Amino acid sequence: MKVNKIMKIFSAVLPAFLACAVYVDSATAAETPEGYKLLYERDFEDNRGLEDFEMSDPAAWRVGEDNGNNHALELFDKSDYSPRVRSPYNIALITNGMVGDFILEADLRQTGREYGHRDMCIFFGAKDPSNFYYVHIATAADDHAHNVFIVNDEPRVKTTDDVTEGVDWGENEWHKLRLERKLSDGSIKVFFDDMEKPIMTATDGHFDFGYIGFGSFDDTGMVDNIRIWGPGFAPEKSGFFR
């Protein structure tokens, strides 16, 4: 009798629970500003390879497996790449088009050893190999880690207004990223797991349209479930690293 009663309660509650789950999953699209649309979406389960991307070193990237049942963009080795000015080595840019205002969401997994600068990076406003922004998400913040940086024909400089002390990447853990960029006021907001309070904010209007991408300064990691919303793409240009 008790088992039957529990099953009846579970059957009554389950539809409501599933409805809530669907609502949470689709909340991002509902919260995007007026005029935004989904510009890009990729979960790497489509056997398409990496034709959407241009890398600083293609040999360091692949579509990797996570526990054998999920595929993701994987940076598995250090890139054979020397930037002209001091900036990250390991870069994979989505070259479908350049964006100005945008909201980016993705899942990140850091696969390197633990140390203060253990990181993953998100690139945006990328014009060429010496002109772009990047978000450096690391274990500990300092002048060269866990900040928003600008590379403007000179070694990277932090441009952060406010930042936390760092993040806990953990071991074999996936984390939620959300990056919001608005050209009208130069605002940059970075969210990590907690989508209510940003881990760092910055204000800078130097670069407008540019490519979005992922990577790391010195480490390895994985990226999955990429989604980009915005008013639209500007035409892409080929040969970013050439």
Task: Give tens-digit pLDDT for 34-46.
Answer: 999 999 999 999 9
Domain membership flag for residue 208: yes
Task: Give tens-digit pLDDT for 95-105.
Answer: 999 999 999 99
pLDDT in the model for residue 3: 39
Same domain? 10 vs 68: no
Same domain? 40 vs 139: yes
> What range does the domain containing 158 cover?
35-230
Cβ(179)–Cβ(220) below 8 Å: no
Task: Give tens-digit pLDDT for 141-172.
Answer: 999 999 999 999 999 999 999 999 999 999 99
Domain membership flag for residue 155: yes
Backbone angles phi, psi at 27, to 5 degrees: -65, -35
How far is Cα 160 from Cα 198, in angstroms, rounded to an integer? 12
Same domain? 15 vs 76: no
Residue 214 is encoded by which pair of tokens?
């992922």
Backbone angles phi, psi at 24, to 5 degrees: -65, -40
Torsion on CA atoms 96, 102, 103, 104, rounded to nearest 10: 30
- Residue 69's CB is within 10 A of a number of other CB atoms, namely 6
Same domain? 16 vs 61: no
pLDDT in the model for residue 25: 42
Same domain? 79 vs 101: yes
Domain membership flag for residue 236: no
Domain count, the chain: 2
Domain membership flag for residue 84: yes
Same domain? 4 vs 108: no
Domain membership flag for residue 235: no
106: closest CA among 92, 126, 90?
A: 92
Q: What percent of the chain has pLDDT over 70?
A: 87
pLDDT in the model for residue 230: 98
Rounded to two decimals, the pTM is 0.87
How far is Cα 6 from Cα 156, in angstroms, rounded to an integer? 59
Question: Reduced to 3 states, what is the DSSP secondary structure of residue 58?
Answer: helix
151: closest CA among 85, 212, 89, 92?
A: 85
Q: What is the overall mean pLDDT for the chain?
A: 89
Given the DSSP bridges, would you call strands 102-110 and 61-65 parallel, antiparallel or unpaired? unpaired
